[in-house]
Chain A
Amino acid sequence: MLSKIVRTVTNGFIPFIIIFGLYIIAHGHLTPGGGFQGGAVVVSGIVMLLVAFNSQELKKSLRERVLSIMESSGALIFIILAFAGIGTVFFYNLLVGSPIFGRIPPTGPNLGDIWTGGVIPLMNLAVGIKVIAGLSAVVLALALFSGGEEVEE
Chain B
Amino acid sequence: MKRLVTGWILLLVLVAFLVLGVTLVHPFGYPNTSDMDDYMIENSQEETGSNNVVAAVLFDYRGLDTLGEATILFTAVTGVLLLLRVSKRKEESS
The chain A residues found within 8 Å of chain B, CB to CB, are 28-32, 34, 36, 64, 68, 71, 75, 78-79, 82, 90-91, 93, 96, 101-108, 110, 112, 116-120, 123-124, 127, 130-131, 134-135, 137-138, 141-142, 144-145
Smallest Cβ-Cβ distance to A134: which chain B residue: B77
Residues of A within 8 A of B14 (CB): none
Chain A proximity mask over B53-82: 1 for CB below 8 Å, otherwise 0: 011101110011011011001101100110
Q: Evaluate whether A118 and B48 lie within 8 angstroms (CB atoms) in the complex, with A29-B55, A123-B59, A124-B55 already known.
A: yes
The chain B residues found within 8 Å of chain A, CB to CB, are 42, 45-52, 54-56, 58-60, 63-64, 66-67, 69-70, 73-74, 76-77, 80-81, 84-85, 87-88
Cross-chain contact A119 with B51 (CB below 8 angstroms): no
A128–B50 CA distance with the chains assembled, in angstroms: 18
A31–B77 CA distance with the chains assembled, in angstroms: 28
Smallest CB–CB gap between B87 and chain A, Å?
7
Residues of A within 8 A of B55 (CB): 28-29, 34, 117, 120, 124
Smallest CB–CB gap between B38 and chain A, Å?
13
Partner of B60, one of A28, A68, A103, A120: A120
Partner of A105, one of B45, B70, B77, B88: B45
Partner of B51, one of A29, A79, A138: A29
Residues of A within 8 A of B63 (CB): 82, 90-91, 123
A52–B88 CA distance with the chains assembled, in angstroms: 24
Closest 7 CB pairs of A and B: A91-B63, A134-B77, A29-B50, A117-B50, A116-B49, A145-B84, A123-B59
Instruction: For the A-B complex with A30-B51, A78-B67, A82-B63 known, give 15 more contacts whose Cβ atoms are closer than 8 Å.
Output: A28-B52, A30-B50, A34-B59, A36-B69, A79-B67, A91-B64, A93-B49, A93-B60, A105-B51, A124-B59, A138-B80, A141-B81, A142-B84, A144-B84, A145-B87
